Amino acid sequence: MASRAAQKRLTREYKSISENPPPYITAHPSETNILEWHYIITGPENTPYHKGQYWGTLIFPPNYPFAPPAIRMHTPSGRFQPSTRLCLSISDFHPRSFNPAWEVSTILIGLLSFMTSEEMTTGSVSASQAERKFLAARSRWWNSTGGGSHLKAEKGAGKGNIKAGDGGAKFKSEWPEVDQENWKWMHENDIDTATGNKTVENGGPSCVPQLGIPASSGHQAHVVVDAVIQQRDAGRGWLFQNKLFLIGGAIFMYVLVARLLGEGNT
């Protein structure tokens, strides 16, 4: 349970961050627990996280602001291990270095700054820019489906476990409007909600002969006629195609034989 000082301080900070949110950052406390805050970082331009939607939590101690929060990012980013406590100077790993003057906005700005750097710490990971861009493109799908675990969660599996995947239930409860936007985005972009990949429609085999021209072409009839003629001639074989030469040769032989017989009778 939050102390009176923590309650008062976090209530004031929620009002402040709602009225003047830092760039790329939005955050709010849970309705049921003011010590549990949820944030979304939108990936800044000119970074591999551009347009990514990164959801995480800040869990404040009851004696805040005299001790720092535990910081986690649940959405896979290629920068942090999902749902793992991060060791930062602004986190509960270093309570002695925490300044009580720092506010929620200060903590989240520090987290974003560290995210876009390449410094390593407990809870951070290494990944290529291509991998991070890939995860950014899938982040909205991951948040609203729990990484595709929504199908299992509907059957009662994995509920309440963000790390394993809760089917997006926790994200939906904390960000209902954002969740609706994500599902609309998945529908408009033909995203397979089970895999996060773009759906590819498999067309059946075509029964139209491949003539090498568009079916709508005005020359199609002529091409078809030519093809039929070629097939007909090919079926008749060599004798038919050379019949004139054969007939001429037969007449020549007939005349030659007739002359020879005529000369023999004289």
**Active site residue: 59, 67, 87, 125, which one?**
87
Non-local CB neighbours of 58 within 8 Å, separated by 6+ positions: 27, 36, 37, 38, 39, 69, 70, 71, 104, 107, 108
Distance CA 93, CA 85 (A): 9
Neighbours of 206 (CB within 10 A): 8
Asked if 207 is an active-site residue, the reply is no
Structure tokens at 129: 């820019």
Catalytic positions, please? 87
